[in-house]
Structure 1
Amino acid sequence: MCRDCPIKITNILYLMKEKQQFSNNFSYLYTIINIPSLNEVSMDDRIMESSSSSCHKHSSTSVEHPKAIIHIDIDCFYAQVEMLRNPELRSQPVGIQQKNIVVTSNYEARKYGIKKCMAVTDAIKICPNLKLVNGEDLHNYRAASNNIFAALQHWKCPVEKLGMDENFIDVTNLVEERIKSVKDDKITFVGHIYEESITECLCGCHLRLKIASQMAKEMRKKLFDELGFTTSAGIAHNKLLAKLICPLHKPNDQTTIFPEHGASFMSTLQSVRSIPSIGSKTTEALISQNIITVSDLQKVSVDLLKKHFSSDMAVRLKNLSIGEDNTPVKQTGKPQSIGLEDSFKTVSVKSEVEERFSALLQRLLVLVREDGRIPVSLRVTLRKKDVKRLSSHRESRQCQVSPSIFTINHGAPTVTEAGQQKLMTLIMRLFNKLIDLSKPFHLTLVGLAFTKFQERMTGRGSIVNYLMNDISVQSVLNITNDCDTSASSMDYSAASPSSSTTTDLSDGEVEPSPKKPKKVNWIAKRRCLSKEEVASPSKLKVGELRLNSRELEKVSELRLNSRDRSLTPRASPAKDNLSDTDTMKDGSEGGNCDECPSYVDKEVFNALPDEMQQELKAMWKNPSNSELPRSSPRIMNKAKSNTILKYFVPHK
């Protein structure tokens, strides 16, 4: 019996007292484990005291563990993808080769001693019948990873990807729903349990983890039935333990660990580097303090850790060492960047670098097409071999990319040959900024990535129908009097997934900075809909209007002529425009341009809405009120009436 860890015993005694299974020996039992009598201290206070004085191995039992996390790992992922593509490989030892390294292998090859990142020559020596498959092209692996992720979305709970072959699933809400509909006595564990518990935690986490183990089995079965992948799973109350317990019974199996066994399991890890959140630099800092195993980290005090790390980091390291992790499962969205790299022994010629960039670009454009978003930034990465530093180091440069380089074809962004040439020009321009070509250079890696994407929404109500070319205002399409929309270079349905959209490939390779658009005089042709059908201007479809350059010139000329006439003093207005003004009767309505002034284009005037025609006629009747002289600043500052004419023929 552990005198230093009385939490379990306290819980047992409390439950036994509740059930009145014993009474006389109750105080004596508390005495021998150094816990105050039930009559002296309340149960809540007693449990809190026990929690504060207990060892860290059982500290997790004093708190609630509401979450249920599943970690699913695809067994020998790359090898499984190749075996699914070629079933003949299933019974043979298979290794996935990238350059001169065997990056992974199937379990048949591992029986011979094939390990990850083993040299190809060494692998063939120990396994002469090893079947090597070139795995440098990651396209098939990415596609398989996306299919697995999509299948896990079936449960409608947060799914977080970790690399290509691992996923965290937070099934807490699903577990709570299932608890309400299933009886406790019918719930059993599925798979292995790290260590059996004598008593259950008061927070009910054991029941939740039982149900989570059943859900893990369902998920693994779905992945095998639909996609053919065998998987391993870890079930725990947090991400850390779920991931670390997952490989315990690989392959094609699952393991569950209880919260109270988290610290004891963590103490079995032989290196602090085994903890996912601890990187190489942190490991080096810990080793310098003679903290090598996780057990060493458990024994060291937080105060000592604070001398070498920040306060928050020291507390986090301590919590991780005992299996405590409150990191949430974050739903994975689309990646922030899409990139590829090509490594080699050395490249010292610009032409060869350009060839490698061109090959990377071709493969990268395929990934962009599958992603569906339009990149707006390009990054180039180089790894230089520096003799002075005796090591390689990376350098990167990036620039903006004009979205007009990409066109939408069947709902996916594509790039024409001219667009590819522009991208290569950008790439080599960034390369020239990173490398001084006047001096010798040696590269061991080139990388290319698209970063910062913009979503291009499609459909009749999307903004893309109005703002297509570099976020500039789209040309307004034409409405004919018979309501037939004419086909133009920017059709309203051009951005739909089923059609092909061609955007203007401007000369500028770099996205221009946004500028204020110039004022444009707009003219709307006669509406083909009746007044009852159009309740407000917002219901008019911009895609059914068009800005005509000739009409624009006519309207501009009409405005200027009207202004000139209103500003020019006339000796005899009756002589000049007597027929123009006198013939306009009060009862005249739009549609009849016989009453218009001589300088007005009748075709343009007839195309205007009735309200505009009446306002123009009123302006011609009283030209002194239509335009104010620009020589009087005070008059210009006066508020102008808000008329419909203001929106179609704005004053300059």
Structure 2
Amino acid sequence: MDSRQRHPQRRKRLKRPLDSIIIHFDYDAFYASVIEAETPSLRTRPLAIQQKQIVVTCNYEARRRGLYKLQLIKEAKKLCPDVVIVLGEDLTQFRNASKELYAFLRSFSWNSRCERLGFDEVWMDVTDMVNYNLELLNPTDLTSSFFCLSKSDPSIGFTFDASKVAGQTYPVQVDTSPDGPSNLLRMRLILGSHLAHYLRERLASEKDHTCTAGISTNKLLSKLVGNVHKPNDQTTLFPPYNSEDGQDNVTSFIDSHEVGKIPGIGFKTALNLRALVLQRPAKFDQGLVYGGTKEKVLVGDVRKVPDIGPEALEQILGGTGAPHGIGAKVYGLLFGIDDSEVGQARDVPTQISLEDSYIRLDTISEVKKELLLLSKSLLRRMHADLLEEDEDALASARTITDSAEPTETPTKRWMAFPKTLRLTTRPRPPKNPDGSHNRSFARISRSGPMPNFVFTLKDDVDTIAERLVAEALLPLFRRLHPERSGWNLSLVNVAATNMVDAASEKGGVGRDISKMFKRQDQVLKGFKVTDSDDVVPVMSRAAYEVMNTAVYSDQTGVVDTNVHDLKNARGGSEDLPTPSQEATIATQDHWESEDEEMLDEDRYACDECGAVMPLFAMGAHARWHSDS
């Protein structure tokens, strides 16, 4: 029995979209490189970044000596006694460096599809740049090609050899000839590889940061293929991408990955997939702080399960709390299919999240203390990431009045407002009868509206944090853990989510009305009427009578030519009809008004000037005559 008979789901192969070119950048040992940039002497020494009692990351010299991420500090020191340990609890310097590098890469994008993941990863959708430069290629001289980086200035760019790929490839031996199979996709990937190589060189020379890159047709494959050659290198996943017999390069590439290493397959889903293949839960490696398994299950192993398919995975992975369609989503990921788009570049993050882990957290007093620390960090992050300088406030930062001392004016404004406050905890399961603990990675959350007082710039962070804990976070915590005793937490997370862009002149949820009013004098300057000797100051009563008689007394709509003579003499007036108004008068029996049904017998003519008007206007018109 062949594989098609054993696996009916494979009879119809999933087709992978090939129209996008995505580059994934991963900064090499980012956290350590930020420290090394400040202290260059550390570049040749083993360096580890510590949070709590864990090595959160380390440089390549430390990895060469056996250190690795999520290793206990005491084990790292035992393995490498001369390791340099740097505390990484304060993320300010890492966050600032990440913003700078992201802004640099974003400046090269044409479509602003530049998405950041954490501090050290960036996706760029360069499809438009690649397609544009594909049209510029000279097929008779590919070795002397020029990649244009600007549509408006064809001189901005770099030269490259389009007859071969830049960097490494998967598989190692590929056909790069222009007349080979999958020629169009191959040429587009070659162009993407040269752009990635150019940007990596610019990052190294101008920002002193090396990075690894992956080039493919979606976010999933570009991220995975970039991991093949690390550090400071790049890999392009070459075609064929689709085949009827399943022998394409994508299938062979992704089948060799452990299911837990596939982006989009979470920890719980990976456990279920391992249990599906092993027919029992995978054994944990107790030596890892955040959990791992001793038994590795590959993507290829999952796809060999009899009758595997979207429907079968939906039954296995679905259920309470699982998103709808998870079976089809995971099934696509197992084939290297990822339809998620690279997000539009943003000036502000989509959410701000702070968390900390604990060996034991089981009293309300300790919870209040930790919530206060997390709240202060959250507010500082919000101020750093969501505030910008207000130019108008800076111009009048110190307002001096005759009756008061100079007062300080806030010189910053909010670029975005998080509408939701979320509290997440991870309870530690109770002890087993033998005194052991079951490992749990399940989190529970509660959310509420973000209080408006957090956006004030008059109070200090400590004051706002205390109020945030008392009025918002503690009520959320009591909803999560209503029992008064018996709970023990291993993690607490506080997050500001549901980000809404603030009003601005360039966009956001609305226009910034205050700035519009402040600028109206400047905007309307060219439209202001100024006094001039050539302008007649006031219309005479005789001229007013002529105008009324000519325009309003003749119900046929004929306009007297004296009106035009008078208008030309005065140089224009709101008291006289404009040419467009005259056209309206000539085609209508009367002026449009809310009282469209007013009868002709309700109109009266003035005995002195002959002007026709409604009855209610006669009194005011008579007073005008008496005052004149």
TM-score, normalised via structure 1 length: 0.57
SS at match of 2:428: strand
Provide closer, same or farther for how the CA distance between residues 304 and 137 of structure 1 changes in structure 2, counting only shifts above 3 A: same
Correspondence 1:264 to 2:252: yes
Q: 2:390 aligned with 1:345, yes or no? A: no
Q: Give the equivalent residue in structure 2 for 1:90.
A: 43
For structure 1, list consecutive stretches of 5 or more residues without a partner in the other structure: 5-54, 469-490, 494-529, 534-640, 642-652
Amino acid in the other structure paired with 2:174 = S
1:278 corresponds, among 255, 259, 265, to: 265
**Cα distance between partner residues in 2 of 1:142 and 1:133:** 16
Match of 1:287 among 244, 249, 274: 274
Correspondence 1:178 to 2:133: yes
CA distance in 2, matches of 1:344, 1:308: 35
What corresponds to 1:163 in structure 2? 118
Report the Cα offset of residue 165 of structure 1.
Answer: 1.3
- 1:75 maps to 28
Partner of 1:329: 342
CA contact (8 A) 2:106 2:345 kept: no
Q: 2:222 maps to what in 1?
A: 242
| Equivalent residue number for residue 520 of structure 1 | none
How far apart, CA to CA, are the structure 2 residues paired with 1:464 and 1:360? 33
Q: Which piece of structure 1 moves more, 297-306 or 75-84?
A: 297-306
Seen in structure 2, the aligned counterparts of structure 1 residues 386 and 338 have a Cα distance that, compared at 3 Å, is same
| SS of alignment partner, residue 424 of structure 1 | helix
Is residue 423 from structure 1 mapped to residue 468 from structure 2 by the alignment?
A: yes
Distance 1:245 1:217 in 2: 15
Distance 1:66 1:459 in 2: 35
After superposing the two structures, state which structure 1 stretch, 281-290 or 437-446, moved more. Answer: 437-446
Question: Partners of 1:374 and 1:359 in 2: how far apart?
Answer: 21
Q: Equivalents in 1 of 2:114, 2:505: separation in Å?
A: 29
8 Å contact from structure 1 (residues 216, 233) kept in 2: yes
In 1, are the aligned partners of 2:379 and 2:461 still within 8 Å (CA)? no
- Alpha-carbon distance change, 227 to 57 in structure 1, aligned in 2, over 3 angstroms: farther
Query: Any idea what SS the aligned residue of 1:328 has?
Result: coil
Contact 2:277 2:302 (8 Å CA) reproduced: no
SS at match of 2:75: helix
Q: Partner of 2:231: helix, strand, or coil? A: coil
C-alpha displacement of 1:447: 2.5
Q: Is the 8 A contact 1:56 1:263 kept in 2?
A: no
Amino acid at match of 1:272: V
TM-superposed CA distance for 1:182, in Å, is: 2.9
Letter in 2 for 1:191: G
| Correspondence 1:128-527 to 2 at 5 A | 128-156=81-109, 157=111, 158-184=113-139, 185-186=142-143, 187=162, 188-195=164-171, 196-198=173-175, 200-202=180-182, 204-260=184-240, 261-269=249-257, 271-290=258-277, 292-300=297-305, 306-309=311-314, 316-333=329-346, 334-372=348-386, 373-387=416-430, 390=437, 394-407=443-456, 415=460, 418-426=463-471, 427-436=473-482, 438-439=484-485, 441-457=487-503
Query: What is the alpha-carbon root mean square deviation over aligned residues?
Result: 4.0
Residues 96 and 464 of structure 1: CA distance in aligned 2, closer, same or farther (over 3 Å): same
Is the Cα contact below 8 Å between 1:380 and 1:446 reproduced in 2?
yes
C-alpha distance in structure 2 between counterparts of 1:294 and 1:437, whole Å? 42
Unaligned runs of 5+ in 2: 3-8, 144-161, 241-248, 279-296, 316-323, 387-415, 520-526, 531-615, 617-628
- 8 Å contact from structure 2 (residues 309, 331) kept in 1: no
Secondary structure, aligned partner of 1:265: helix
Q: What is the CA distance between 1:234 and its match in structure 2?
A: 0.9
Amino acid at match of 2:455: F
- Distance in structure 2 (CA, Å) of the matches to 1:72 and 1:57: 36
For the Cα contact (< 8 Å) 2:226–2:235, is it kept in 1? yes
Query: Per-residue CA shift, 1:538-596, capped at 9, x if unaligned?
Result: xxxxxxxxxxxxxxxxxxxxxxxxxxxxxxxxxxxxxxxxxxxxxxxxxxxxxxxxxxx
Distance 1:288 1:314 in 2: 16
Distance across 2 between alignment mates of 1:461 and 1:444: 42
1:102-158 Cα offsets, whole Å, 9 max, x none, are 111111001111111111111111100011111122222222222222111112231
Amino acid at match of 2:450: V
- Indicate how the Cα distance of structure 1 residues 308 and 87 shifts in structure 2: closer, same or farther if over 3 A, else same: same
Name the aligned partner's letter for residue 341 of structure 2: P
Maintained 8 Å contact 1:234/1:254: yes
Report the alpha carbon displacement of residue 93 of structure 1 after superposing the two structures with TM.
0.2
Following superposition, the deviation at residue 388 of structure 1 comes to 6.0
Residues 219 and 438 of structure 1, relative CA distance in 2, 3 Å threshold: same
Tell me how far 1:439 sits from its aligned partner.
3.4
| Rg comparison, structure with higher value | 1
Q: Distance in 1 between matches of 2:468 and 2:85?
A: 35
The answer to whether structure 1 residue 111 and structure 2 residue 64 are counterparts is yes
For 2:325 and 2:457, the matched residues in 1 are separated by: 48
**Cα distance in 2 between the residues matched to 1:57 and 1:151:** 46
Q: Deviations over 1:603-635 (max 9, x none)?
A: xxxxxxxxxxxxxxxxxxxxxxxxxxxxxxxxx
Matched residue SS, 1:222: helix
Query: Residues 110 and 428 (structure 1 numbering): CA distance in 2 closer, same or farther, change over 3 Å?
Result: same
How far residue 415 of structure 1 moved from its aligned partner, in angstroms, is 4.8
Deviation at 1:397, TM superposition (A): 3.2
Question: In the TM superposition, what is the alpha-carbon distance from 1:71 to its structure 2 partner?
Answer: 1.1
Q: 1:397 to 1:242 in 2, by over 3 A?
A: closer
Cα distance, 1:440 vs structure 2: 5.6
Q: Residue type of the partner of 2:421?
A: L
